[in-house]
C-alpha cells in the first residue's frame, strides 16, 4: 500500500517521439546485463546496471522510515514530508525548483509506505549533473515554505475528504485498523482529516532529519553512465546526509488472529469488502510456496479461483484479487472486492469458502505447475523499463535477497513442491478471515463471522 505523488512535466511535450523510447531497457537486455555492486569513495553502496542502449539514467532509492515513523498523533507526517521535498530547496523556491526540473525534463518523485520513504529520479544522460544536484538540494536543504506547505496540506485534506466517503478507502483503512489495533501499521499512511491540520513545518524538518540518513539508504541505478561518473554523483548527492538515522523502534507484530468481521454502515449502491489475515514473512522458507499459492487463489486475476467463483460462475463482482504484503515488522494476506449491497453477504460467503478450501486442501498439482510456469515467464516481462528494473533492484536490497536473486529466482520457484504449497496454504488460509464490509445495513448484519466448511 504505497501513496505516490507524481508530477506531469510540461517539458516532456517537447520530446513527443524520443521520450517514450528512452524509458526502455528490454527484458532480454536486462537478462544479459551484469548487475554490479558499486561502492563509492564516500562509502555509498549501489546496485548498478550499465546500459547504453538509450541515453537515459534512472535511479531508485529508499530510506527506512514511512508512516511507522509518524508521531502517534500526527499520522501523515511521512507522506507530507515526501510531498514537500520537491517544493523548493536552498535558494530555489517551489516555482524556481520546478522550472529547473521542467527545463531538462527531469522526473523526480517521492513516495511513502509504512516502512520506507522512497524516491525516483530519471533524466537524459547529458542532464545527470543537473538532476542529481537538484536531488541533493531536496534531500539536504528542503525549504518547507509556508505557501507550499499550505497548498500541499489543502491537497492532502481534499484527498482525505474524498476518502472519508469512499467505501473502498474506508474498508481499506478499517481493515488495517482491525489487523493492527494500536500498532503504527494501523495508521493511515496519508494522514486523516484530524491529523493533517496539526502538522507543521517543524514536524516535517524533524522527520527529514531523523529519516534521511546514509545507514539505511538503498540505491539502484540503470542506464547510460559509467561507474566512475556515477560514483561521483552518488557521493555528491547523498554524501552530506547524516551517517545514522534516528529512528523510533517499531515492534514486531502479528496481525489479529481471524476470524473477525467488521461492518461499517454507509448508504452507497456498492459495498466494498476487504479481507485477509496474518501473512508469511519475506525471509520465511515457505514464502515462495505461499506466493505461488496466492497466485492460484486470487493473484492471477482471470485465472484465479476467486475470480472464477465470484465473477465467472456467479457474477457477484467485477473483480476480486489478493496479494501478499510483507513489511519490516509484520506480514499480511490481503484481498479486496466490491459488489451490490444485496449481494455482499453472498460474496463474502463465497470468498470465505474458497479461502477455507485452499487452506484445507491446498492447490492441485496442475494448478501448481501452471502457476509456476506463468510466474517464471512473467518476471522478466514485467521489468520492461529502466525505472522498473531499478525499482526491483532496490526491493531486492530491502528484502535482503542478494544481488544474484534474479538469476536464482526461477530455480527457487521450480523447487516448490506440492507438499510445500499445501503446507503454506494451511498456514495462510486455514484460520478463517479478517474482513471488513462498508455498505448498507441489510448486508452488514448478514455477513458471516466464521468460515463455513469447505465444499
The ranges of the chain annotated as CATH 3.30.830.10 are 3-238, 260-444
Reading the block at residue 70, the C-alpha cell is: 509518524
Cα–Cα distance for residue pair 395/379, rounded to 1 Å? 14
Specify whether the CB–CB gap between 65 and 217 falls below 8 A: no
For domain 3-238, which CATH number applies: 3.30.9.10, 3.20.20.70, 3.30.830.10, 2.40.40.20? 3.30.830.10
- pLDDT, tens only, 243-252: 999 999 999 9
Residue 377's CB is within 10 A of a number of other CB atoms, namely: 10
Backbone angles phi, psi at 59, to 5 degrees: -130, 140
- pLDDT, tens only, 364-378: 999 999 999 999 998
What is the structure's pLDDT at 17?
A: 30
Cα–Cα distance for residue pair 268/387, rounded to 1 Å? 39
Nearest-10 crossing angle of helices 418-429, 287-294: 80
Sheet with 260-265: strands ordered across: 260-265, 434-439, 270-278, 331-340, 317-326
Residue spans of the chain under pLDDT 70: 1-33, 442-455
What is the structure's pLDDT at 26?
A: 46
pTM for the model: 0.89
Decide if domain 260-444 falls under CATH 1.10.3720.10.
no
What is the structure's pLDDT at 448?
A: 44
| Nearest CA among 114, 139, 115, 148 for reference residue 59 | 139
Amino acid at each position: 500500500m504505497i501513496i505516490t505523488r507524481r508530477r506531469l512535466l510540461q517539458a516532456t511535450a517537447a520530446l513527443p517521439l524520443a521520450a517514450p523510447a528512452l524509458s526502455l531497457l528490454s527484458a532480454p537486455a536486462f537478462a544479459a546485463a551484469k548487475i554490479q555492486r558499486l561502492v563509492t569513495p564516500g562509502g555509498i553502496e549501489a546496485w548498478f546496471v550499465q546500459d547504453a542502449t538509450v541515453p537515459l539514467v534512472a535511479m531508485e532509492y529508499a530510506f527506512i522510515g514511512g508512516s511507522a515513523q509518524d508521531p502517534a498523533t500526527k499520522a501523515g507526517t511521512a507522506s507530507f514530508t515526501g510531498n514537500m521535498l520537491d517544493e523548493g530547496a536552498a535558494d530555489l523556491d517551489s516555482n524556481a525548483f520546478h522550472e529547473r526540473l521542467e527545463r531538462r525534463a527531469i522526473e523526480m518523485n517521492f513516495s511513502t509506505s509504512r516502512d520506507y520513504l522512497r524516491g525516483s529520479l530519471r533524466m537524459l544522460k547529458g542532464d545527470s549533473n543537473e538532476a542529481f544536484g537538484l536531488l541533493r538540494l531536496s534531500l539536504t536543504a528542503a525549504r518547507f515554505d509556508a505557501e507550499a506547505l499550505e497548498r500541499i496540506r489543502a491537497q492532502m485534506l481534499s484527498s482525505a475528504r474524498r476518502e472519508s466517503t469512499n467505501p473502498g478507502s474506508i474498508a481499506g483503512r478499517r481493515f488495517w485498523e482491525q489487523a493492527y489495533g494500536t500498532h503504527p501499521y494501523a495508521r493511515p499512511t496519508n494522514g486523516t482529516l484530524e491529523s493533517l491540520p496539526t502538522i507543521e513545518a517543524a514536524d516535517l524538518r524533524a522527520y527529514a532529519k531523523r529519516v534521511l540518513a546514509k545507514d539505511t539508504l538503498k540505491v539502484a541505478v540503470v542506464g547510460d553512465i559509467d561507474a566512475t561518473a556515477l560514483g561521483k554523483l552518488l557521493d555528491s548527492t547523498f554524501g552530506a546526509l547524516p551517517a545514522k538515522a534516528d529512528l523510533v523502534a517499531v515492534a514486531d507484530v502479528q496481525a489479529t488472529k481471524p476470524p473477525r468481521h467488521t461492518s461499517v454502515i454507509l448508504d452507497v449502491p456498492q459495498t466494498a469488502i476487504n479481507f485477509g489475515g496474518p501473512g508469511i514473512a519475506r525471509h520465511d522458507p515457505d514464502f515462495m510456496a505461499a506466493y505461488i499459492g496466492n497466485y492460484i487463489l486470487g493473484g492471477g486475476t482471470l485465472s484465479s479461483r476467486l475470480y472464477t467463483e465470484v465473477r465467472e460462475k456467479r457474477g457477484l463482482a467485477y473483480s476480486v484479487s489478493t496479494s501478499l504484503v510483507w513489511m519490516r515488522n509484520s506480514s499480511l494476506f490481503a484481498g479486496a472486492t466490491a459488489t451490490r449491497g444485496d449481494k455482499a453477504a453472498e460474496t463474502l460467503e463465497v470468498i470465505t469458502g474458497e479461502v477455507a478450501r485452499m487452506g484445507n486442501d491446498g492447490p492441485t498439482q496442475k494448478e501448481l505447475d501452471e502457476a509456476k510456469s506463468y510466474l517464471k515467464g512473467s518476471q522478466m516481462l514485467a521489468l520492461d523499463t529502466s525505472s522498473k528494473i531499478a525499482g526491483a533492484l532496490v526491493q531486492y536490497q530491502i528484502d535482503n535477497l542478494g544481488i544474484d536473486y534474479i538469476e536464482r529466482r526461477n530455480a527457487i520457484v521450480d523447487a516448490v513442491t506440492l507438499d510445500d504449497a499445501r503446507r503454506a496454504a494451511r498456514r495462510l488460509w486455514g484460520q478463517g478471515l479478517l474482513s471488513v464490509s462498508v455498505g448498507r445495513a441489510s448486508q452488514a448484519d448478514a455477513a458471516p463471522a466464521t468460515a463455513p466448511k469447505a465444499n
